[in-house]
Amino acid sequence: MPPAKIAPRDRLIVPLDLPDVASAEAMVARLGDSVTFYKIGYQLAYAGGLPMIGRLAGAGKRVFADLKLHDIGNTVARGVESVAKSGATFLTVHAYPQTMKAAVEGRAGSDLQLLAVTVLTSYDDSDLHAAGYRLGVSDLVEARARQARELGIDGLVCSPQEAAALRGIVGDGMHLVTPGIRPAGASTDDQKRIMTPARAIAAGADYLVVGRPVTGAADPKAAAEAIVAEIAQALGRQPG
C-alpha cells in the first residue's frame, strides 16, 4: 500500500512481547479495536505464540513476524516459505545480501512482505566498533538500505533518526518501520536511538513499533489511542 494511503491507526504496531500466549491474548482483548497491527517476536514465538499469527489474521488483524532470520541461503528460503503460509503481513530478516536474496526467493508467489533489519536500534557507533565493524551506524544503515532496495526487499526496519535519510535513498517504494518510538516523557528503556511518534512520522516513517508505553500502561487501550491520535495529527488526518 502506498504510504499516503495507510490509515493512522494501521501505522501503529504493538509488540506482544509477553511471556505466554494467555497473556498475549488477554492484551489483545484489552486493546480491542484500538490496535489493528501486532508484532510477534522471539519471546512469544518461543513460548508457543507462532499459531497466534493465523488466529490474529483470521480475526482481521495484521501481524508482523519479527523473527530476524539469518542463516545459510537454503535455510532462510525454506523458513520464509513456511512463514508465508502463516498469514503474516511482515517478516524480518537481517540485512545481509545473501540472506535477503534467499528470503526474496522463499516468499515468491505469496503476499508476505519482507523487512530488512539494518542496525538494531539498541546499537550505537561504539557498539558496532566493539563488534568489529569499521563503519558507523549511519554509513552501515545506508549501505544496507541500498542493497535491500536492489534485491527486492519491501521495507526496512530502522531507527527514526535514519528515516529521513533512508527515504531519500529508497523513495516511496519501500516501507520504513521504526522501533525506538517513545511518547514524550516515557522511559527510554534499553533503546538508544529514539523519537516521539509525531517526529518519526514527520521524518518519513510509515509504521511505528511502540511496545512498553502501550502494553506496560495502566490503561493500554487509552495509551494506544493517544499514540494513534498523535500520528493522525502529524499527518493532518483523522485517526481512522
Marked catalytic residue, from 5, 39, 61, 68: 68
What confidence score (pLDDT) does residue 54 get?
A: 96
Kindly tell me the burial class for residue 47, based on how many C-beta atoms sit within 10 Å of its own C-beta (0-12, 13-18, 19 or more): middle
Alpha-carbon distance of 176 to 165, in angstroms, equals 11
DSSP assignment letter at 68:
E
What is the phi/psi pair of residue 66, to 5°? -95, 75
Task: Tell me the domains of the chain and their CATH numbers.
Answer: 3-234 (3.20.20.70)
CB atoms within 10 A of CB 176: 26
Query: Do residues 224 and 31 lie in contact, with contact meaning Cβ atoms separated by under 8 Å?
Result: yes
Low-confidence ranges of the chain (pLDDT < 50): 188, 190-193
Give catalytic status of residue 68 as yes or no: yes
> What is the overall mean pLDDT for the chain?
91
What is the phi/psi pair of residue 44, to 5°? -75, -35
Give the contacts of 1 (CB within 8 A, at least 6 positions apart).
none
What confidence score (pLDDT) does residue 191 get?
A: 47
Map residue 211 onto helix, strand or coil: coil
Instruction: Give per-residue pLDDT as tens, 55-95.
Output: 999 999 999 999 999 999 999 999 999 999 999 999 999 99
Query: Do residues 60 and 87 lie in contact, with contact meaning Cβ atoms separated by under 8 Å?
Result: no
pTM (predicted TM-score): 0.91
Alpha-carbon distance of 19 to 167, in angstroms, equals 35
